[in-house]
């Protein structure tokens, strides 16, 4: 139940499981290897790049339908006992398969199904459908209380600024539309590549703060610019950043306990809401006489229903696509009863 008076100050967690991470980088820069160091991982391998990674807990994914089947399995409590981190490698291929899925299921003007390209869906609706499907499926993973690691490759692209000057920047190969979705979700966006020092020694670095040369960023105020690309160094970097912020903001706003903002999302159940509405009506009519119900309650209940469904609409004609409206109807109905009974 939503209750503004129950809000407490948010506590930042040191547990990485509550965060979403987006790694992109040069080929063979250790992205998948490091991702599999996250605790109790399951690697959803849209790209089969785990052949040389010992111990990888991998599930090859060849279609968006397979991915959706996996999402259903992730709800299972036995699966949650076994895994706590979901890796998607690569998110580029995942998005391509999502787009293919939407195209295959798009309704054509002639009544059939399936189009060749997402742009063939009229009025640009195809892009909206893909974005919605992609966003909801990714978000469902963190809503189920899994950590999420997304992987992409890097490309050096030429852009033009507002003054018409060209510049080059290293960005993920993931297209701009899905990248916007991923960027909103992720707490850490980091770029990996091999670096050679003055003595000729080569090591892989993870760049965590963006520059004009490459895209990167973090929600943590004191994230370092660059670290050695290992899981332990990443955990230490985030832990140190949190410690610095804790010293600045106060210990009461930080915790070692696992925290996941998305897992607090309550999924509405259409059948339960419909039963609750009918039970409210039944309970109300059992407590009052017919004339009182007809004169006072019936017009007010009708007013609530029409507020959310439209003039002349009835709850018994509501569809499952209107679950949120039904939730609001039940909420207003309960408030009406509380204030008048």
Please answer whether residues 228 and 249 qualify as being in contact, where contact means their C-beta atoms are separated by less than 8 angstroms.
no
* 3-class DSSP string for 120-182: HCHHHHHHHHHHHHHHHHHHHHHHCCCEEEEEEEEEEEEEECCCCCEEEEEEECCCHHHHHHH
Task: List where CATH 3.40.50 sits in the chain.
Answer: 4-261
Structure tokens at 112: 């059939």
In the predicted model, is pLDDT for residue 117 greater than 70?
Answer: yes
In the predicted model, is pLDDT for residue 116 greater than 90?
Answer: no
Please answer whether residues 147 and 19 qualify as being in contact, where contact means their C-beta atoms are separated by less than 8 angstroms.
yes
Residue 9's pLDDT is 67
254: Cβ–Cβ under 8 A, 6 or more apart, which residues? 11, 12, 13, 14, 242, 245, 246
What letter would DSSP give residue 41? E
For the stretch 125-158, pLDDT in tens is 889 999 999 999 999 999 898 999 999 999 998 8
Residue 91's pLDDT is 96
- Of the listed ranges 83-97, 215-229, 231-245, 264-278, the least confidently predicted one is 264-278
Residue 12's pLDDT is 61
Euclidean distance between the first and the last CA atom of the chain, given in angstroms as a whole number: 21
For the stretch 23-67, pLDDT in tens is 999 888 889 999 999 989 999 999 988 888 998 999 999 999 999
Q: Could you give the 3-state DSSP secondary structure of residue 5?
A: helix
Residue 50's pLDDT is 87
Q: Strand 147-160 vs strand 166-172: parallel, antiparallel, or unpaired?
A: antiparallel
Residue 151's pLDDT is 96
Q: At the topology level of CATH, where does 4-261 sit?
A: Rossmann fold (3.40.50)
Please answer whether residues 316 and 277 qualify as being in contact, where contact means their C-beta atoms are separated by less than 8 angstroms.
no
Q: What is the mean pLDDT of the chain?
A: 88
For the stretch 44-56, pLDDT in tens is 999 988 888 998 9
Categorize the per-residue pLDDT at 17 as very low, low, confident or very high, splitting at 50, 70 and 90: low
In the predicted model, is pLDDT for residue 304 greater than 80?
Answer: yes
Mean pLDDT confidence for 199-218: 90
CA distance 44 to 238: 25
Cα atoms found within 13 Å of the Cα of residue 64, Cβ hemisphere only: 20
For the stretch 241-292, pLDDT in tens is 888 888 887 776 666 665 555 555 567 889 999 999 999 999 999 999 999 9
């Amino acid at each position: 139940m939503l209750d503004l008076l129950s809000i407490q100050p948010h506590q930042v967690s040191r547990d990485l499981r509550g965060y979403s991470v987006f790694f992109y980088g040069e080929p063979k820069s250790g992205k998948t290897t490091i991702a599999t160091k996250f605790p109790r991982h399951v690697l959803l391998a849209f790209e089969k790049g785990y052949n040389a990674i010992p111990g990888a807990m991998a599930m090859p994914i060849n279609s968006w339908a397979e991915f959706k089947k996996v999402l259903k399995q992730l709800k299972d409590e036995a699966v949650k006992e076994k895994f706590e981190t979901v890796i998607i490698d690569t998110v580029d291929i995942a998005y391509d398969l999502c787009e293919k899925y939407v195209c295959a299921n798009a309704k054509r003007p002639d009544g059939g199904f399936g189009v060749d390209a997402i742009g063939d869906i009229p009025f640009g609706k195809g892009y909206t459908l893909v974005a919605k499907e992609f966003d909801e499926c990714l978000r469902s993973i963190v809503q189920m209380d899994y950590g999420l690691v997304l992987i992409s490759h890097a490309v050096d692209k030429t852009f033009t600024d507002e003054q018409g000057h060209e510049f080059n920047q290293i960005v993920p190969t993931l297209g701009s539309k899905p990248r916007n979705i991923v960027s909103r979700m992720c707490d850490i966006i980091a770029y990996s590549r091999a670096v050679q020092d003055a003595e000729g020694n080569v090591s892989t670095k993870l760049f965590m703060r963006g520059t004009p040369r490459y895209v990167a960023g973090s929600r943590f105020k004191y994230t370092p610019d660059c670290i050695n690309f290992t899981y332990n160094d990443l955990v230490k970097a985030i832990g140190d950043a949190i410690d610095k912020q804790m010293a600045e903001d106060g210990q009461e706003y930080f915790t070692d306990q696992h925290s996941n903002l998305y897992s607090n999302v309550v999924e509405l159940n259409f059948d339960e809401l419909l039963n609750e509405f009918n039970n409210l009506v039944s309970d109300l009519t059992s407590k009052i006489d017919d004339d009182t119900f007809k004169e006072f309650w019936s017009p007010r209940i009708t007013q609530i229903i029409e507020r959310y469904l439209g003039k002349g609409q009835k709850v018994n004609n509501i569809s499952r696509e209107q679950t949120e409206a039904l939730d609001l109807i039940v909420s207003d109905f309960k408030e009406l009863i509380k204030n008048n009974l």
